[in-house]
Amino acid sequence: MVALVAASAGLGARGCGDVKVPPPPTRAEAREKATTAACDRYAKCAYIGPGLAYENRESCEIAWRSNFESMWPAADCEGHIDKDALDVCLGRIQSTMCEGWDILSTLGICGKEHVCIGAAPTDGGSDGG
């Protein structure tokens, strides 16, 4: 009986070692997710099309890929993406109001000081925290 309990305990413990935590996203993965989210939002807000903010989906993606490339520079962010903060940023992009200045709040939430672990604020000032 003791042997059976010991064997069961050993099997249970061994099973716990199989849990794998996924690595944090790379800067390139984060940039692509944010680009997709931004252009999805612009599409939902009807800002993509002839004569609108972006002529087509491709022009939106080129612009926002460049924006996130600048917002999350390799020197500060490569290997330092905070997955939880990226998820907050992506959620905020999806909920950004189509009209008004709400985009500025979204850009703040998605700034490198939030998304990139240990990065200094983009404006060089303190983040208030």
Mean residue pLDDT of the chain comes to 85
Q: Residue 106 pLDDT > 90, yes or no? A: yes
| Alpha-carbon gap, residue 79 to 119, rounded angstroms | 12
pLDDT tens for residues 3-26?
433 444 444 444 456 778 788 899
> With a threshold of 0.85, does the pTM exceed it?
no
Burial, 36: exposed, middle or buried (Cβ in 10 Å; 0-12, 13-18, 19+)?
middle
| Alpha-carbon gap, residue 5 to 21, rounded angstroms | 29
Rounded-to-10 torsion of CA 33, 34, 40, 42: -170
pLDDT tens for residues 20-58?
878 889 999 999 999 999 999 999 999 999 999 999 999
